Amino acid sequence: MSHPADLLITVAPTGAETAKADAPALPTTPEEIAATARDCEAAGAGMIHVHVRDHDHAPTLDGGLLTEWVAAIRESSDLVVQLSTGGSVHDPLEQRLKVLDAEPDSCSLTMGTTNFGDDVFANPWPFVCELYQLSQERRVVPEFELFDLGQVHALSRLLDRYGPPYGGKVHCDLVMGVPGGMPGTADALVAAVAMLPAATTSWGATGIGRTTLPVALASLSKGGHLRVGMEDVLTISRGVAVESNAQLVERAVALGRLAQREPMTPAGARELLAVRAR
Ligand code: KMH
Ligand code: ZN
């Protein structure tokens, strides 16, 4: 029996937190990200959430490298390209606004400041408002990253004040299990989903580290989408390192099929999110 392709799987392959030396499978060059995009699309991903690395494998927001990575992904895959505007906890706000110059299809947009382990992931309200208006102006579809319930509520305020995003769809991603944010539990996910603005058209979730499976299963149970990838988890089971991002996508596809959900193609993802035609 076939089921409609109604599950968006987003792969977040790199992040800004893990060192290449600690996880050699982490894609940190244009060639590696291109191969990752190709393999993850073949495995069932529809969108890629991208943090760029420099020639020393360190996180960067360098405009030239961002443009190069976006082009490399578009050459090897049809994935919806979402650039991170979160960057690393050390990136200045002005530089994070410049990410949109690289003309991604989508950008992440975190709805508030969060303690992030021993660091602070800064997203002051004026910055959130400026980035949101910039995304509307540049016709880039935001994905609202929600690390706690206060941020879910802040999204309602943002939409009330500035209207709908470019394209008219409101897509949210619950980022759970960050030390400092909401826990990666089914109870927290249910509470967050209950508070999503009425204008929400789609949402997904990801659980960091050991919360990855509980959050994925809870998201599927509530009809949500999935984000997976080495930005969020580095082990496939206790003590066993992830071999590749595609391996995590394959597991997400298998979980989805148990819930009778089929992965969307990138074309399906473009329609779901109403990204600008290129
Ligand atoms: N690296 C984190 C500090 C995003 O991509 O927008 C922020 C983050 C969220 O990963
Ligand atoms: Zn990210």
DSSP 157-226: HHHHHH-SPTTS--EEEEEE--BTB--SSHHHHHHHHHHS-TT--EEEEEE-GGGHHHHHHHHHHTT-EE
d(C-alpha 225, C-alpha 269), whole Å: 11
CB of 122 closer than 6 A to ligand 1? Answer: no
DSSP letter assigned to residue 71: H
CB atoms inside a 10 Å sphere around CB 198:
7
| Closest atom, ligand 1, to C-alpha of 12 | 5
Angle between helices 212-221 and 245-258 (to 10 degrees): 40
CB of 108 closer than 6 A to ligand 1? Answer: yes
Q: Retrieve residue 179's tokens.
A: 């030390």
Compute, in angstroms, the gap from residue 12 CA to the centroid of ligand 2: 7
CB of 144 closer than 6 A to ligand 1? Answer: no
Domain topology for 9-273: TIM Barrel (3.20.20)
* DSSP codes joined into one string, 140-160: -EEEEEE-SHHHHHHHHHHHH
Q: Which of 82, 88, 99, 148 to mutate to test the pocket of ligand 1 (most atoms within 8 A of CB)?
A: 88
Compute, in angstroms, the gap from residue 167 CA to the centroid of ligand 2: 22
Compute, in angstroms, the gap from residue 187 CA to the centroid of ligand 1: 23
d(C-alpha 19, C-alpha 37), whole Å: 20
| Closest atom, ligand 1, to C-alpha of 116 | 3
CB of 113 closer than 6 A to ligand 1? Answer: no
Residue nearest atom 7 in ligand 1 by C-alpha distance = 86
CB of 86 closer than 6 A to ligand 1? Answer: yes
pLDDT tens, residue order, the chain (278 aa): 456 789 999 999 999 999 999 999 999 999 999 999 999 999 999 999 999 999 999 999 999 999 999 999 999 999 999 999 999 999 999 999 999 999 999 999 999 999 999 999 999 999 999 999 999 999 999 999 999 999 999 999 999 999 999 999 999 999 999 999 999 999 999 999 999 999 999 999 999 999 999 999 999 999 999 999 999 999 999 999 999 999 999 999 999 999 999 999 999 999 999 999 98
DSSP H or E segment with residue 38: helix 30-43
Q: Quick check: 255 and 226 in contact, CB under 8 A?
A: yes
Is residue 98 exposed (0-12), middle (13-18) or buried (19+ Cβ within 10 Å)?
middle
Asked whether the whole model's pTM tops 0.85, one would answer: yes
What pLDDT does 1 receive?
47
CB of 147 closer than 6 A to ligand 1? Answer: no
Which one, of 97, 105, 163, lies nearest residue 139 by Cα? 105
What distance separates the 2 farthest-apart alpha carbons in the chain?
51
Residue nearest atom 4 in ligand 1 by C-alpha distance = 86
d(C-alpha 243, C-alpha 228), whole Å: 14
CB of 89 closer than 6 A to ligand 1? Answer: yes
